[in-house]
Every structure is written in structure tokens, then in C-alpha cells.
Amino acid sequence: MTKSSILCCWALALAVLACGTTSTTATTVTNVPTAWKNPAFSGPGLARIFVIGVHADDATRRQFEDHLARELAKHRVVAEPSYTHLPDSSRLSEGAVREAIADGDFDGVTITRLVGREEEKTYVPGRSHETAVTPTGGYYGYYRTSWETVHEPGYYKTNTTVHLETSLYDLQSRSKVWDGKSDTMNPNSVADVIESASRAIAKQMKKDGVLR
């Protein structure tokens, strides 16, 4: 684990996620479209993981670390948030991180950071459709049902995607064994990103065979 990996910071753009979508019915979904596993890693999967979420805001960092630790625990991994050892969310020294890891007898460490946030506007064209009224009364009945045709105007919809990157290191070999980039669609809040992304990241790690 290198010092440069530890010092990466999440951008403060997370603070405005609530304004990231114009749709009031958007559902938060996270997928992991890109996941890499070190071909040299043959296991066994890691069982005691030190969870680092790098962010300058204490509350956001703690919330993320807690959620990812809980999701990893669902896969029979003993995971511990780093803030329980290193409460200060300012830039951590390599020595402090190494000491905290050694004290807990961990065999792995995850580091998660924000790598981007995108907004994409798409146009949803308008449409017309008739009501369920059956034409009656000759030509005027047809005129009446035509008048009652429903017209829905077109509109623009904004889709917001938040990209996180999570790396997992094997402390015995001091090498990266897994790296995944997660995309969270249309979050309504920071909590939406944290909950959805944590679940997807832990699930993908288990699927890729890097957890016990």
C-alpha cells in the first residue's frame, strides 16, 4: 500500500448530490461495470479488512466506512472502519495508517474515493393518446372524443451518475488484489450513494473471490 493511495481525497461535490436529478421518481441503482482482479492472487480470500473512505468531512467518511463494513460483514468478513482508529479526517500520514492496521491484525485494506460525477440531459418527446371514451352520437361523438385526446408535452430529464473507485490490498504481499469502479445512478442524497454503492462493492468483491 503506497502513500499516494492513502492520500487521495473525495471531491466535495458529494455535498450537492441532492440537486443532481430533476426526476422525483428516480430510483438509486449502483452497478460495477469495471472490476479487476489481480491474476497473481490465488487466495485464500481476505478475512479481516480495514476500511478507509477518504473524505474531508467527518460525517460523510464515517457514514461510508460504517456502511461498507456492514456490507462486508454480510459476506462473513470482519471489517472495521478506519475512523475507529484514526478519527481525524484530515490527510493521514502513512505511518499512522500502518500503525493502525498493525494494531488490528488485518490482512486487507480497502480505499474508496470519488472519481467523478456526471450529468446527462436527455429529451423525452411528447406524445398523444386518446381517452377510453367510446365515440357515440355520429360525427359529433367522434369530434368529442378527438377533443378529449390527451396531449403530453415533451420534457428534459437529467440523469446523474456518481463514480467511485475502490481498491483492495493484500497486506501480506503488499499488492493490490482488486479494483472496482462503481456507478450510482440518480441518487437523491449522499446517503443514497453510500448505501447503494457499499452494497454493490461488497457483492462484487465476493463474486470475484477476493473475500473469505
Domains of the chain with CATH codes: 3-122+160-207 (3.40.50)
Query: Are residues 131 and 150 in contact, defined by beta-carbon separation less than 8 angstroms?
Result: yes
More confident residue, 7 or 86: 86
Contact (Cβ atoms closer than 8 angstroms) between residue 74 and residue 202 = yes
Q: What DSSP element (H or E) covers 114? A: strand 108-124
Q: Enumerate the β-bridge partners of residue 51.
A: 81, 110
Instruction: Kindly report, residue by residue over 8-48, the tens digit of the pLDDT.
Output: 333 333 333 333 322 233 478 999 999 999 999 988 899 99
127-129 and 78-81 strand pairing = unpaired
pTM of full prediction above 0.85: no
Which has more confidence, 139 or 57?
57
Question: How far apart are alpha carbons 209 and 84 in whole angstroms?
Answer: 27
Question: By the 8 A CB rule, do 30 and 183 touch?
Answer: yes
Calculate what percentage of the chain has a pLDDT beyond 70: 79
Half-sphere exposure of 65 (CA within 13 A, CB side): 26
Beta partners for residue 111, in sequence order: 52, 167
Cell numbers given for 92 = 493521514
Closest CA to 63 of 116, 24, 101, 112: 112
pLDDT for 105-157, tens place per residue?
899 999 999 999 999 998 888 877 655 555 566 777 777 666 666 677 888 98
